[in-house]
Structure 1
């Protein structure tokens, strides 16, 4: 059995809470965070059905859109010096 070299990198943005949770879980498992996340990834790819993965991707797309909207609103408020809820502020 030939073992494939892991020379490709993939950066994935996560929240601070997710990052800390992964680090703690990796420490508990006695491995590095990278090895732990790789194990999660390969397990998910091997065990989730295409429909389960599609549902997870769709949920992440909705969350990403909500984060972009929130960031856009915050940018408008900052640009125009408005406080949330102030007259003329973006809802």
Structure 2
């Protein structure tokens, strides 16, 4: 079952709450809270964001090694490798 943006944002809010209980600096707490708001409002599902072509090409130009990962948790999702391969071919 894919994770939702709200669930990801919830982790950031939980972290902010823990930092607040710990007495951490307010700037750090607010950063986690702002990140949660941005994630909640993001129009796409963060669980499936592939590297954009321009970034793949820039990584290649800089000699950065990238890994192709299917994020497969079951055999049924092994076909997702095609998305990673497509990005690699464009880069």
Q: TM-score, normalised by structure 1?
A: 0.22
Larger RCO (CA under 8 A, 6+ residues apart):
2
Larger radius of gyration: 1
Q: TM-score, normalised by structure 2?
A: 0.22
